């Protein structure tokens, strides 16, 4: 990983937890900047699929009802024949709808379907190239083999008499369906073939800058040597949550720690902690940024200053 990526990640690991952190994939944009895409996790993809599946079921059922009316009404077919005709047309329509549903939406909505959009995930090319129509077709053709045929086999498990045979078939097919659980990029078989990956669309708000126009407290060089980037970003997180229930108490504790650590000459009253911390944050950031301009980066309070080569 590049230096740029690690700078931000120490605090992110700490705040969001390393275990919960998503896998990401680095894609270099044609402009030469590397972008980090968070991968959609298996739960998100299952939810998106469930939504799409629901829409498909409803659409197929509606078509079936229409077919029944058309067959019985317009063509005057009756009884067994009419039902069979309607059923076989529905089988065909269901097949056509579920294949064209995914392909159409992923083409028209740039790698997204109604389910994916609701969850906020999207298909992209693994190498960073444009998502080609053929890639979309390829990843959706195999859906039939990976999901719908195993579903069919599973649903026929109870009814069939050769259960052992079907069970083996189902187990073998489920291995296929469970592929996303076994690789780091959570790829289905279709993603493997098409060279695609499903990513989560990040949504981040730009909050107001914590550094205001002016400052009340003035920190000198000697006060600012104690901390590094990690502590700065943790402090930022605390200051960005002024409404948290324990914020007042937390601010008090943090203020006391900082005052002790940097040897601040005066006491800070309860009412002034926010002001003090904000000023300290601004001064510390100004200091670290200035140092960084001279090529001296400091990851956290324990780290030695590294000089960029």
Tell which positions 207-246 bind another protein, by CB under 8 A: 207, 209-220, 229, 232-233, 236-237, 240
Q: Given candidates 48, 254, 262, 282, which one binds another protein under the rule CB under 8 A?
A: 282
Pick between residue 43 and residue 130 the one whose CB is nearest to another protein: 130
Q: Given candidates 65, 91, 171, 244, which one binds another protein under the rule CB under 8 A?
A: 91
In whole angstroms, what is the distance from residue 69 CA to residue 262 CA?
A: 82
Pick between residue 45 and residue 67 the one whose CB is nearest to another protein: 67
Window of 52-60, 155-163, 253-261, 278-286 that interacts with another protein by CB under 8 A: 278-286
Q: For helices 3-16 and 229-239, what crossing angle results, to 10°?
A: 50
Phi, psi angle pair for 23, to nearest 5°: -70, 145
Q: Given candidates 51, 138, 169, 247, which one binds another protein under the rule CB under 8 A?
A: 138
Token couple for 245: 């229930």
Window of 74-82, 153-161, 241-249, 252-260 that interacts with another protein by CB under 8 A: 74-82
Q: Given candidates 26, 62, 65, 81, which one binds another protein under the rule CB under 8 A?
A: 81
CA-CA-CA-CA torsion for 189, 192, 196, 201, nearest 10 degrees? 50
Q: Given candidates 54, 61, 69, 92, which one binds another protein under the rule CB under 8 A?
A: 92
- 250 by Cβ neighbours in 10 Å (0-12 / 13-18 / 19+) ranks as middle
Window of 52-60, 81-89, 160-168, 251-259 that interacts with another protein by CB under 8 A: 81-89
In contact, 199 and 121? CB cutoff 8 Å: yes
Q: Is 22 in the site for another protein (CB under 8 A)?
A: no
Q: Is 286 in the site for another protein (CB under 8 A)?
A: yes
Of 232, 296, 234, 206, the residue nearest 305 (C-alpha): 296
Pick between residue 45 and residue 150 the one whose CB is nearest to another protein: 150
Residues present in the chain in total: 309
Q: Given candidates 4, 165, 253, 256, which one binds another protein under the rule CB under 8 A?
A: 4
Provide the minimum distance between the beta carbon of 246 and another protein in the complex, in angstroms, as a whole number.
21
Provide the minimum distance between the beta carbon of 250 and another protein in the complex, in angstroms, as a whole number.
18
Token couple for 31: 């402009």
In the range 93-122, which residues lie near another protein by CB under 8 A? Answer: 95, 104, 107-111, 122
Window of 8-16, 39-47, 58-66, 244-252 that interacts with another protein by CB under 8 A: 8-16
In contact, 230 and 66? CB cutoff 8 Å: no
In the range 158-187, which residues lie near another protein by CB under 8 A? Answer: 176
Window of 47-55, 192-200, 243-251, 299-307 that interacts with another protein by CB under 8 A: 192-200
Rg of the chain in Å (alpha carbons): 29
In whole angstroms, what is the distance from residue 36 CA to residue 278 CA?
A: 30
Provide the minimum distance between the beta carbon of 152 and another protein in the complex, in angstroms, as a whole number.
9
In whole angstroms, what is the distance from residue 98 CA to residue 56 CA?
A: 6
Q: Is 11 in the site for another protein (CB under 8 A)?
A: yes
In whole angstroms, what is the distance from residue 134 CA to residue 263 CA?
A: 65
Longest dimension (CA), the chain: 97
In the range 29-58, which residues lie near another protein by CB under 8 A? Answer: 29-31, 33, 35-37
Phi, psi angle pair for 35, to nearest 5°: -110, 145
């Amino acid at each position: 990983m590049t230096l740029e990526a690690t700078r931000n990640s120490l605090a992110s690991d700490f705040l969001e937890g390393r275990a919960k952190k998503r896998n990401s994939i680095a894609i270099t944009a044609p402009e030469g900047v590397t972008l980090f895409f968070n991968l959609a996790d298996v739960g998100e993809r299952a939810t998106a699929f469930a939504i799409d599946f629901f829409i498909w079921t409803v659409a197929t059922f509606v078509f079936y009802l229409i077919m029944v009316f058309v067959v019985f009404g317009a063509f005057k077919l009756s009884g067994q024949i009419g039902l069979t005709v309607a059923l076989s047309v529905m089988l065909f329509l269901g097949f056509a709808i579920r294949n064209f549903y995914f392909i159409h939406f992923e083409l028209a909505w740039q790698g997204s379907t109604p389910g994916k959009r609701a969850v906020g995930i999207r298909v992209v090319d693994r190498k960073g190239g444009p998502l080609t129509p053929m890639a979309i077709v390829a990843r959706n053709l195999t859906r039939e083999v990976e999901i719908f045929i195993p579903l069919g086999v599973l649903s026929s498990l109870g009814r069939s008499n050769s259960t052992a045979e079907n069970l083996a078939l189902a187990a073998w097919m489920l291995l296929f369906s469970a592929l996303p659980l076994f690789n780091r990029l959570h790829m289905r078989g279709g993603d493997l073939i098409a060279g695609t990956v499903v990513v989560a669309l990040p949504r981040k708000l730009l909050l107001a800058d914590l550094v205001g126009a002016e400052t009340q407290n003035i920190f000198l060089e000697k006060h600012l040597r104690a901390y590094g980037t990690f502590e700065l970003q943790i402090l930022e997180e605390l200051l960005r949550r002024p409404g948290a229930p324990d914020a007042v108490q937390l601010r008090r504790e943090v203020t006391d720690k900082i005052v002790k650590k940097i040897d601040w000459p005066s006491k800070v009253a309860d009412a002034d902690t926010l002001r003090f911390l904000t000023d300290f944050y601004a001064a510390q950031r100004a200091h670290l940024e200035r140092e960084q301009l001279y090529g001296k980066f400091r990851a956290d309070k324990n780290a030695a200053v590294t000089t960029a080569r």
